[in-house]
Amino acid sequence: MLGTWLSDATITLQESVETWPQALEICGKPLLDAGVIAPEYITAIVQQHQKLGPYYVLAPGLAMPHARPEEGAKGLGLSLLKLQSGVSFGADDFGPVAVISLLAA
């Protein structure tokens, strides 16, 4: 089932990133390039994070960032960024995040 949503084109492997917004940009790029999201979709996730905190950090090392469909989702999509060295999203209970799966719906 995941093969329906994830492919080589939507999976990015990277050593590290400097900041969580950079991680969101990198993770969202395949969906942006495919026309599944508009640039404002990533902006909306960042704004919600700043307002509500890291609501999408679901478990230690795992985040599933998303925004509301009307904030720039043009279709259904899923992308994945796997970091060798995790990045802090500010969810201290869950430590650095190394797997980020961005959802567009």
> For residue 82, what is the DSSP state?
E
**What is the model's pLDDT at position 2?**
64
Residue 101 has pLDDT above 80, yes or no: yes
Q: Which residues contact 95 (CB under 8 A, 6 or more apart)?
A: 60, 61, 86, 88
Question: What pTM did the predictor assign?
Answer: 0.93
Token output for 104: 């567009």
3-class SS of residue 68: coil
Confirm if 102 and 31 have CB atoms less than 8 A apart.
Answer: yes
- The class (CATH top level) of 2-104 is alpha beta
Give residue-wise pLDDT tens across range 31-64: 999 999 999 999 999 999 999 999 999 999 999 9
Kindly name the residue from 37, 66, 71, 91 that is annotated as catalytic.
66
Which H/E stretch holds residue 27?
Answer: helix 20-33
**49 counts as catalytic:** no
